[in-house]
Structure 1
Amino acid sequence: MTPYAFERHARSGAAIATLATIYAALLAALHWLDAAPWLIGALALTTLPALRDVIVAPVAGLRLTDDAIAWHSGRRHGRVERSEIACLRLDRRWDFSVRAVLVLADGKRIHLPQESLPPHQVLEAEATARGLRVERHPFSPF
């Protein structure tokens, strides 16, 4: 079976447009509403992580083959052989996000980075197609 590869870039049109909109709104508030500069500065500080992602443009991704699962996200990366994996656990959180956890045969759990994952329906289908056991757990608190 052909390997499945997913990749996500932090520098996207949506991220740039969102930052531009936020900065335009902050400048408009500063200019037309006579907002306090310290307040505008404090609000602008909250956008620094997103601005860093747009400037640095880290890449995250996942590669699923018949033999292994490999992932990368910035400086973090990992690879687990298929023979070591007991199952792929998909946990739905209370915020409706889905987290992926590799449960190894020895009981160890490896949490896959959220930014390196494709949509959970695609991940489940690709894992199942490769014979990997998938468990779904709705609304897990942790």
Structure 2
Amino acid sequence: MAAEVFSYHRNGRNTATIWAVLAVWGVLLLAIIWVDAALWLMGIVAAFTLPALWDLWANPAAGLSFDDQGMTWFSAKRSASLRWSEVDHMRLDTRLDFSVRATAVLNTGQKIRLPYEATPPHQAFENALHAGGIKTQRHHFSLIG
């Protein structure tokens, strides 16, 4: 494998989350003003934005990097690493919601799922794995990985 290092990093705070929360709260406010929606009902709907608000406030970081020796990843307070000598192949599963989940399949048959938030965009990740000589398997629209 080449000595190049692949690195990916992301933050929990991003513009898509900000706009989504603002849009939901705006629609709820309009429903209260124009339709005279029940405040308790709009409060319940607004509660579904609390995880997004937490991500905006806490801004948890996540990422993944690898070199010719192995791979490391982190997500909020969790982190792990694998040596390439332990890995048989990387499995990339496209789910029904079009998200791609990455799993390291070890030589022993054990599977280690990478945290979704630490997984890079699938095409760049797969290209970097191929460039490094790591075998990959693609599985599209699988329900169980």
- 1:59–1:20 CA distance, 2 compared to 1 (3 A): same
| 2:48 corresponds to | 46
Q: SS of the residue aligned with 1:141?
A: coil
Provide the aligned length of Structure 1 versus Structure 2. 142
Output the aligned Cα RMSD.
Answer: 1.1
**Alpha-carbon distance in structure 1 between the residues aligned to 2:21 and 2:141:** 32
Equivalent residue letter for 2:101 = R
Q: 1:24 pairs with 23, 26, 49, which one?
A: 26
Deviation at 1:127, TM superposition (A): 0.7
**Alpha-carbon distance in structure 2 between the residues aligned to 1:138 and 1:73:** 25
Show structure 2 runs of 5+ residues with no match: none
1:45-74 Cα offsets, whole Å, 9 max, x none, are: 010000100000001111011111111111
Q: 2:116 pairs with 111, 114, 117, which one?
A: 114
**Alpha-carbon distance in structure 2 between the residues aligned to 1:40 and 1:51:** 16
Q: SS of the residue aligned with 1:99?
A: strand
Q: 1:71 pairs with 62, 70, 73, which one?
A: 73
| 1:8 corresponds to | 10
Q: Which runs of 4 or more aligned residues in structure 1 lie more than 4 Å from their structure 2 counterparts after TM superposition?
A: none
Moved more, 12-21 or 59-68: 12-21
**Alpha-carbon distance in structure 1 between the residues aligned to 2:141 and 2:28:** 37
Deviation at 1:137, TM superposition (A): 1.7
Deviation at 1:90, TM superposition (A): 0.9
Equivalent residue letter for 1:28 = L
**Alpha-carbon distance in structure 2 between the residues aligned to 1:136 and 1:35:** 47
Q: 1:59 pairs with 58, 61, 65, which one?
A: 61
Show structure 1 runs of 5+ residues with no match: none
Deviation at 1:140, TM superposition (A): 1.7
Equivalent residue letter for 1:71 = W
Q: SS of the residue aligned with 1:34?
A: coil
- Provide TM-score, normalisation by structure 1: 0.95
